[in-house]
Structure 1
């Protein structure tokens, strides 16, 4: 692959632009086939997500392999916002590496798991597949209004639990340092989940790790696109812009507010989530004459 130029690089959030936030699966078939076409054209593709490696294996890599990934490609996964990473080949996921230094203490994990089981299991579940952070997620049989009400209550309860353990924690504008004055963790709600994670983890860290991996297999393209549905996903493009690349960010949920950035921000008309992600991928398949 070193001697073949890459026309484009992609940093993709998973929930929203790739996987439906309703079904939590890749529900649009063209997303699978277009990702495979782009990978076959030597486009470096990194999935940079808060999801676990188990989720990516089952809901992203498995359907890609079922259709047929190319033998030669550049594909990578960075999960839990930079705490877990692995290569992806035609044979599937490679060795999974976990940064144990950013993981929540076991006592905190146990108490948060019990909190969900005792008070919130009707609307959410504790994600047992996470390896460094803690995530709770909306049950697919829970309506949005019920989940949002329960999530607000859970977030407050989780904040109290973590403060009670003496952990430095940030939640919104509230900051409680630990005994040494440090704030090591944060509570980060999304539309379908709450992540409790190290403050060192975010999408720019994932972007940095992906670029380092791709640089090992050859030169990097000058043109990059990042795609996401959360304001934190802009951090992928921020990193690329700071590094000097030609970058634009595709926002597939612009109703949350388009951020002012020194690079282009793209929206796909009135389309949102995976419908917008599918249109974006098809644009590049057509542009590169891969269809």
Structure 2
């Protein structure tokens, strides 16, 4: 087994932010090649298990992942909704996700946000009904990104007021609305293509911890890890690995948002961004490890 483990955000490094699909074919081929070579790989994403199954796992199996996992032996794992749900990926496929019900919203709040989108914002965004623990609203793929961003702020303000009005403690940026006990248990978290409304306990470091625990169940872990993401929150994957004493570097595929200062190396991929940078990163490690595609 190579002394290397990989943790990936999905939107950006692997799936195109525009098409929301794995649009660069070499990404699938090289993920399968690395799995065959024994590299443990985890997807740490805010996406739902439904999305990852259809847009990542099924295309990987069509590219030969089942045989690769049988030969490689290191395993593959997915953490959804920033730690709200998770599932192993085996040669037999990906089973039903395990869901942490303790971080989920009450159903009346979920239905309230769904109605808010339908009644006032459906021309630019849609309610993601595949989420199990968090609430997510996503930009429509047929809408200009600027139009979505113009509507995103007003939607988030309305959602913030709705949730606070239901008695839940919530944070949005610097604005806080504690619950009756003074607690703030949820937050509004925007991305370039969506808004996630989630428990404050959910984040990419929690997902990384979950993935490492899974891989550790099979034996000693690699000492060298690379994490790959396009958002500032994706650095939390590497933060967790660094805190645990691993040799880690983080690959930022959208450095224009600002490269964070960290006590471990931050890598950018020349002028490439998003999934083109992700594809180049994967190709580098296939070559570096001397693996045959």
Give the TM-score, by structure 2 length. Answer: 0.97
Alpha-carbon offset, residue 92 of structure 1: 1.4
- Matched-pair contact (CA < 8 Å) for 2:74–2:215: no
Aligned residue in 2 for 1:255? 256
The C-alpha deviation readout for 1:101-156, integer Å capped at 9, x for no partner, is 00011111010000000000010000000001000000000101110011111000
Give the TM-score, by structure 1 length. Answer: 0.97
Aligned residue in 1 for 2:25? 29
Alignment RMSD: 0.7
Q: Distance in 1 between matches of 2:12 and 2:276?
A: 9
- Matched-pair contact (CA < 8 Å) for 1:87–1:95: no
- Matched-pair contact (CA < 8 Å) for 2:163–2:170: yes
Matched residue SS, 1:37: helix
Alpha-carbon offset, residue 95 of structure 1: 3.6
Is 2:43 the partner of 1:42? no
Q: How many residues align?
A: 287
Matched residue SS, 1:232: helix
- Matched-pair contact (CA < 8 Å) for 1:68–1:90: no
Query: Which blocks of at least 5 consecutive residues in structure 2 are unaligned?
Result: none
User: Which runs of structure 2 are paired with 1:141-152 in the superposition (5 Å)?
Assistant: 141-152=142-153
User: Which runs of structure 2 are paired with 1:36-185 in the superposition (5 Å)?
Assistant: 36-69=32-65, 70=68, 71=70, 72-185=73-186
Aligned residue in 2 for 1:10? 6
Matched residue SS, 1:162: helix
Aligned residue in 1 for 2:285? 284
- Matched-pair contact (CA < 8 Å) for 1:73–1:89: no
The C-alpha deviation readout for 1:13-37, integer Å capped at 9, x for no partner, is 0000000001000000000010001
The C-alpha deviation readout for 1:80-103, integer Å capped at 9, x for no partner, is 000100000122102410000000
- Matched-pair contact (CA < 8 Å) for 1:11–1:236: yes
Query: Which blocks of at least 5 consecutive residues in structure 1 are unaligned?
Result: none
